[in-house]
Amino acid sequence: MLKIDITHPDRAALAAVEGEVDLYSSPQLRSTLLKLAAGKPPAIVVDLAGVTYMDSSGLATLIEVLQESGKYGGKFVLTSLRPEVRSVFELSRLDKVFEIYDNAEDALARLKQ
């Protein structure tokens, strides 16, 4: 089961995700992140430290929210990718599309600048 905790540090929206992001759980992630984007925060930070697996439906969800946040000029960044999840981004070359940080603290500090 997917768990998503939302906090709002420094006007940003931080979504800490835990579990496997696959065909069955990605609709929950999509719904949650699109609701965040609808509020037009200056930045959405998705912390993937707790994600142990991600398939193409998870990637598609993140791409959709990246596009939605871009429509209003918001930032959308990812943090804390485990090696097994990072490899999916690298194989699909999405590591060149997303801003990816080592941890949420670094991302939030960078977004304040």
93 in a domain, yes or no?
Answer: yes
Residues of the chain scoring pLDDT < 50: none
DSSP result, 15-76: EEEEEEESTTTHHHHHHHHHHHHHT--SEEEEEEEEEEEE-HHHHHHHHHHHHHHHHTT-EE
| pLDDT number for residue 112 | 84
First-residue to last-residue Cα distance in the chain:
36
Question: How many domains does the structure of the chain reveal?
Answer: 1
Check which CATH number belongs to the domain holding 70 and give it. 3.30.750.24
Residue 39's domain spans which residues? 3-106
86 in a domain, yes or no?
Answer: yes
| pLDDT number for residue 113 | 77
| pLDDT number for residue 1 | 86
Query: Does residue 39 contact residue 7 with C-beta atoms inside 8 Å?
Result: no
